Structure 1
């Protein structure tokens, strides 16, 4: 199957964001085959007319607790302790298998609807194997490209066996891959953190963990733990990282590690000022995560704008540009998610995860800088067409392949049962 996207204003992001102008994108076998002017449509190809649209890679969300879609805005005005108490202490234990399924399905469809084509689902609702299977099935059914961040929350003695079972259930080469979503040395006892890291190494899994978010002492202890066990390396993503000083960030940069920032939740929950600019200045691959919709919106436009404004207004900051921000939301996000060269760009050979944004709105019309418009002016209403691996999952502003009203009805039933 071939697809030709014609007449759009194309923005690529690798190696740096650039407006290519009025060029076409040819897709073959789920991958970008060619980008150039006046490309001919191969016989039998589907032609998508992108006139009046911006064409760019799909966004990459590197940290999202997708299962929480049914408890949106549950804790809008609390700090981090309030979030832990209400969401993880009270609501999470009530989740049934069907709640996990519909939460993950609705959350993943929310991503696609908003132009997020790649998602790292940091899933800490694994109360039983049935909960895990429900989360995985929902990701498969959604059509999103997903990294399943497995965080075991069931019987302690079952951790290793369950992790191996999940790894075996995710075949190579598909839209779904896996990471170790580790509690890590700042949250779990060292014995459990040791087991997480040993198992990740055995199974060849990258590690994504909440690190450097509980104060300077905890951050230093966590880094020392990782270094002692040979895990101060390129396979670790540090989520939030708000407690690290500039020297700590240089150590992480030297190790090849990455950082995922969630500027909305970090500010809303009082986790600390986002390290966006400091991490990038240190040379760390840095990307965005939505985190949770219990106290923040679930779209990348909101996150990009928040990160941009906070960094431009940070004392000693201000150097970040809209091009930096778009790169973090696309190609740099793919690097952080372990999908460099797979997602986040339109270079030939990359997976054809593509978003078409309409400019025929009062909020987007007459934009002089397309990249600036994506970061500062666009919103979810502009997301007109979305492709994942060359498959159209949203067309003319409407999600395909799913009965969205039925999903919303099931989500409402789940929310009523949980809350």
Structure 2
């Protein structure tokens, strides 16, 4: 990779502080960092020039919550409810996973993200039954080339939680920056308050943010869990509330005041019967909110589907309560606001000079995208995975001309298919 890359002739969309169409301008990247955005930037001798004619150039998408290991059981339960998900996926299929199955699923799932323009991923990984499972997950994320926050959820002996979390933290301590770590907590609403105290204690000790399923199990559980976190001072540790559906507006304001963030999976939340996504209410209360695919066992895995769904559900709220939600809001959630949820807003999510060059180029020369008058509206309402032409992560081109680079995709698919057969048919 050359040290300088120049993206020319594209229609550029930035997202900070709010999504805006900059028009036909260029983007200059040096050593993986955006250094200049403007019209008619001069070509630099030896630079790689990417001709973005007929393309929309924008920051890469940020998925704030995905169980990436489940790529091998895609659509295994397309019409399942949440209790069935717990029974079929977590209690029946998950224990069958060997480390090699975790590796196959995570590698394929991360590459699926890159193929669809998702350049950053919070991998909420509750398949960590042994150190071997964990090492396989980290190896797959590293080899994929995606920017990932490994949400480590300890699934083994509770007595080993602190020790193993420290081991994983050390495993990632020398990482170049593409793979970092968060603590994926099971408490207090799923695994109880005692476990939550230990999880947040370990996270605070290791300087890790926490991501937890909070607020998705009914109003009483949501209120009780929030009060527990507040009364024990746990929200001093940066915390993402995943599926924050059942909080009142007043409770959402308390979460905002504590510095909390939220992640919504609008397709999955509706499909599993968890509740109506509260992205608009959370944002109105001051809670930064991102989007996540959650699980492909019953939901799509691309950001275009998520943006369209949250846009539709917000604008379809009763009595017109969500009609102020726009396509620009949806795109913001999928980019800079998602980066804020992950604590990476100073690193990715927009085209501000000094940030990492995580970028996506979308085709506009297709029947589904041609003659679009509002590029942002077209990204949210008309684009799909087939529109993703070129993807860069930290300035490195990982997809070009509609094709992923750097991996033997046939071998990846074969390994995933064989693993899926072993898991589902065993």
* TM-score interval (norm. to shorter): over 0.9
Corresponding position of 2:244: 241
Counterpart-to-counterpart distance in 2, 1:119 and 1:20:
26
TM-score norm. by structure 2 comes to 0.97
Corresponding position of 2:396: 391
Q: Deviations over 1:32-80 (max 9, x none)?
A: 0100111112111000000000000000000000000000001111110
Counterpart-to-counterpart distance in 2, 1:293 and 1:139:
18
The 3-state SS of whatever aligns with 1:406 is helix
| Count of aligned pairs between the two proteins | 419
Corresponding position of 2:339: 334
Corresponding position of 2:273: 270
The answer on whether the counterparts of 2:210 and 2:237 sit within 8 Å (CA) in structure 1 is no
Query: Post-superposition shift, 1:374?
Result: 0.2
Counterpart-to-counterpart distance in 1, 2:44 and 2:125:
42
Q: Which residue of the other structure, out of 141, 148, 151, is the alignment partner of 1:149?
A: 151
The answer on whether the counterparts of 1:234 and 1:258 sit within 8 Å (CA) in structure 2 is no
Corresponding position of 2:364: 359
Query: Post-superposition shift, 1:6?
Result: 0.2
Q: How does 1:214-229 map to 2 (within 5 A)?
A: 214-229=217-232
Q: Which residue of the other structure, out of 5, 12, 15, is the alignment partner of 1:13?
A: 15
In structure 1, list runs of 5 or more residues that go unmatched. none
The 3-state SS of whatever aligns with 1:83 is helix
Corresponding position of 1:94: 96
In structure 2, list runs of 5 or more residues that go unmatched. none
Corresponding position of 2:262: 259
Corresponding position of 2:203: 200
Find runs of 4+ consecutive structure 1 residues off by over 4 angstroms: none
Counterpart-to-counterpart distance in 1, 2:121 and 2:305:
16
Q: 1:275 to 1:340 in 2, by over 3 A?
A: same
Q: How does 1:259-408 map to 2 (within 5 A)?
A: 259-315=262-318, 316-408=321-413
Query: Post-superposition shift, 1:224?
Result: 1.2
Query: Post-superposition shift, 1:189?
Result: 2.5
The answer on whether the counterparts of 1:14 and 1:331 sit within 8 Å (CA) in structure 2 is yes
Q: How does 1:33-112 map to 2 (within 5 A)?
A: 33-112=35-114
The answer on whether the counterparts of 1:27 and 1:390 sit within 8 Å (CA) in structure 2 is yes
Q: Deviations over 1:184-211 (max 9, x none)?
A: 2101122211110000000000010000
The answer on whether the counterparts of 2:279 and 2:289 sit within 8 Å (CA) in structure 1 is yes
Residues 1:190 and 2:193 aligned together: yes
Q: CA RMSD in A?
A: 0.8
The answer on whether the counterparts of 1:223 and 1:232 sit within 8 Å (CA) in structure 2 is no
Q: Deviations over 1:322-341 (max 9, x none)?
A: 11110110000000011111
TM-score norm. by structure 1 comes to 0.99
The 3-state SS of whatever aligns with 2:169 is helix
Corresponding position of 1:30: 32
